[in-house]
Amino acid sequence: MFIVLLPLGFLDTFSDEGARYIQDVSLKKEYMFILVPFTVILSWIFFMMEKVSDDLEDPFNDDINDIPLDSIIRSVEIDILQSLNEENIPNSILPIDDILH
Protein backbone atom coordinates (compact mmCIF):
# COMPACT_ATOMS: atom_id res chain seq x y z
CA MET A 1 0.00 0.00 0.00
CA PHE A 2 2.89 2.32 0.83
CA ILE A 3 4.57 1.69 -2.52
CA VAL A 4 1.31 2.36 -4.39
CA LEU A 5 0.72 5.69 -2.59
CA LEU A 6 4.38 6.82 -2.68
CA PRO A 7 4.13 8.73 -5.99
CA LEU A 8 1.19 10.75 -4.67
CA GLY A 9 3.36 12.04 -1.85
CA PHE A 10 5.91 13.43 -4.30
CA LEU A 11 3.49 15.11 -6.72
CA ASP A 12 3.57 18.49 -4.94
CA THR A 13 7.35 18.46 -4.66
CA PHE A 14 7.94 17.61 -8.30
CA SER A 15 5.28 20.03 -9.54
CA ASP A 16 6.82 22.87 -7.47
CA GLU A 17 10.25 22.11 -8.90
CA GLY A 18 8.73 21.97 -12.38
CA ALA A 19 7.12 25.39 -11.80
CA ARG A 20 10.59 26.94 -11.72
CA TYR A 21 10.88 26.17 -15.41
CA ILE A 22 7.74 28.08 -16.38
CA GLN A 23 9.48 29.61 -19.42
CA ASP A 24 10.05 26.22 -21.04
CA VAL A 25 6.86 24.15 -20.99
CA SER A 26 8.53 21.05 -22.43
CA LEU A 27 11.17 21.10 -19.68
CA LYS A 28 8.40 21.40 -17.08
CA LYS A 29 6.66 18.30 -18.48
CA GLU A 30 9.91 16.37 -18.70
CA TYR A 31 10.68 17.21 -15.09
CA MET A 32 7.42 15.56 -14.03
CA PHE A 33 8.45 12.38 -15.89
CA ILE A 34 11.43 12.10 -13.53
CA LEU A 35 8.87 11.24 -10.86
CA VAL A 36 8.32 7.77 -12.36
CA PRO A 37 11.91 6.42 -12.21
CA PHE A 38 12.47 8.21 -8.89
CA THR A 39 9.52 6.48 -7.23
CA VAL A 40 10.43 3.13 -8.82
CA ILE A 41 13.96 3.29 -7.39
CA LEU A 42 12.72 4.46 -4.00
CA SER A 43 10.04 1.76 -3.93
CA TRP A 44 12.62 -0.88 -4.79
CA ILE A 45 14.84 0.31 -1.93
CA PHE A 46 11.99 0.11 0.58
CA PHE A 47 10.92 -3.30 -0.74
CA MET A 48 14.44 -4.72 -0.44
CA MET A 49 14.80 -3.31 3.08
CA GLU A 50 11.58 -5.14 4.00
CA LYS A 51 12.83 -8.43 2.50
CA VAL A 52 16.17 -8.20 4.32
CA SER A 53 14.48 -7.35 7.61
CA ASP A 54 12.18 -10.36 7.21
CA ASP A 55 15.21 -12.61 6.76
CA LEU A 56 16.98 -11.13 9.77
CA GLU A 57 13.89 -11.19 11.97
CA ASP A 58 14.18 -14.87 12.92
CA PRO A 59 17.75 -16.15 12.48
CA PHE A 60 17.06 -19.62 13.90
CA ASN A 61 14.82 -21.08 11.18
CA ASP A 62 15.96 -23.56 8.56
CA ASP A 63 16.25 -21.07 5.73
CA ILE A 64 19.34 -20.67 3.59
CA ASN A 65 20.53 -17.48 5.36
CA ASP A 66 19.88 -18.61 8.91
CA ILE A 67 22.30 -19.77 11.58
CA PRO A 68 23.03 -23.52 11.26
CA LEU A 69 22.17 -24.15 14.89
CA ASP A 70 21.86 -27.94 14.58
CA SER A 71 25.32 -28.19 13.09
CA ILE A 72 26.84 -25.96 15.76
CA ILE A 73 25.23 -28.00 18.54
CA ARG A 74 26.42 -31.24 16.97
CA SER A 75 29.99 -29.88 16.69
CA VAL A 76 29.97 -28.90 20.36
CA GLU A 77 28.60 -32.33 21.26
CA ILE A 78 31.35 -34.08 19.28
CA ASP A 79 34.04 -31.92 20.90
CA ILE A 80 32.75 -32.65 24.39
CA LEU A 81 32.50 -36.39 23.76
CA GLN A 82 36.01 -36.46 22.30
CA SER A 83 37.41 -34.63 25.31
CA LEU A 84 35.71 -37.19 27.59
CA ASN A 85 37.20 -40.05 25.51
CA GLU A 86 33.80 -41.52 24.74
CA GLU A 87 33.47 -44.28 22.18
CA ASN A 88 30.09 -43.55 20.62
CA ILE A 89 30.69 -40.24 18.91
CA PRO A 90 28.00 -39.15 16.42
CA ASN A 91 28.89 -38.03 12.92
CA SER A 92 28.86 -34.36 12.08
CA ILE A 93 25.91 -32.97 10.16
CA LEU A 94 26.52 -32.74 6.42
CA PRO A 95 25.05 -30.08 4.15
CA ILE A 96 21.88 -30.93 2.24
CA ASP A 97 21.78 -29.27 -1.20
CA ASP A 98 24.76 -27.13 -0.14
CA ILE A 99 22.79 -25.79 2.84
CA LEU A 100 24.02 -26.55 6.34
CA HIS A 101 21.15 -26.82 8.79
**CA 32 remoteness from chain centre:** 30
Average pLDDT over residues 63-81: 88
- pLDDT computed for residue 60 by the predictor: 81
The percentage of the chain sitting over the pLDDT mark of 70, rounded to a whole number, equals 81
Which pLDDT band holds residue 25 (cuts at 50, 70, 90)?
low
pTM exceeds 0.75: no
DSSP 8-class letter at 97: T
Nearest-angstrom CA–CA distance, 56 and 67: 10
DSSP 8-class letter at 61: S
Nearest-angstrom CA–CA distance, 10 and 63: 37
- pLDDT computed for residue 93 by the predictor: 84
Kindly list the domain boundaries of the chain, sorted by start residue.
Answer: 1-57, 59-101
